[in-house]
Amino acid sequence: MASEVTISSPEPQKLEASQISSVKAFIESNDAVPIPSTYFSVHELREDVAENNLAASIPVIDFSLLTSDNPHVHANAVRQLGTVCKEWGFFMIINHGISEKLMKDLLNKSVEFHNLSFVEKKELANEELVTPIRYGTSALPHGEKADCWRDYLKVETHPNFNFPHKPPGFSELAFEYSRKIREVLRTLLQGVSESLDLRVTTQCHY
């Protein structure tokens, strides 16, 4: 009687996080290759955050009141903004005037960008931290002890507007969104300055 023969499977290939240029490409081409141990994730929500429901208590600033022509309404909004900055240091904004359609269209174009082939996106890869346009997955591929499970597109839009030319229409939407965001930011900074009795004398142009 022939003896049984046991065939052992080869150990799966192991990769370092620095060898992964794109999380999306790694997932799509993964042939049972283990995920490097330097990637991490949060599996459970912290109990103190869940129980206290902090998200529901984050202060909200009504931007339309801050830009109101009524001096009393404006003054009250400035005082509220100053109090929130002093006691919280952050807040949410409503009625900021940026259309829901513009934000959704920009998100959809972002999805289109990340669905481009890796070859197309790799043209924007750069290991330099300071660069106008940068696509990648790790900030320092060869120097991080913990890695984020993400791909990103980092761009500088001021004072010079830099943006990828793919997919079509992405750059135009991003320019319009950046312009409107800067308008909102400038108004918020003016409101904060007023709450501190500071006078804004400089002009900011996009």
Mind giving me the DSSP string for 27-62?
HHH-SSPPPPTTB----S--HHHHHHTHHHHS-EEE
Q: Please name the residues in contact with 98: beta carbons below 8 A apart, sequence gap of 6 or more.
A: 177, 180, 181, 184
pLDDT in tens, 131-157: 899 998 877 666 667 778 889 999 999
Mind giving me the DSSP string for 148-168?
-S--EEEE--SSS------ST
Question: Per-residue pLDDT for 126 more than 90?
Answer: no
Confidence (pTM)? 0.77
Q: Which residue has tokens 């006691």?
A: 87
Contact 113, 167 (CB under 8 A): yes
How much is the average pLDDT of 164-184? 96
Q: How far apart are CA 137 and CA 134, in angstroms?
A: 10
Q: Among 171, 152, 149, which Cα is nearest to 162's?
A: 171
Secondary element (H or E) of residue 24? helix 23-29
CATH superfamily, domain 17-25+39-195, is B-lactam Antibiotic, Isopenicillin N Synthase; Chain (2.60.120.330)
| Between 20 and 69, the higher pLDDT residue | 69
Q: Which residue has tokens 């799509």?
A: 28
Q: What is residue 92's predicted lDDT score, i.e. its pLDDT?
A: 94
Q: How far apart are CA 80 and CA 74, in angstroms?
A: 10
- The percentage of the chain sitting over the pLDDT mark of 90, rounded to a whole number, equals 54
Q: How far apart are CA 99 and CA 27, in angstroms?
A: 34
Q: How far apart are CA 169 and CA 94, in angstroms?
A: 27
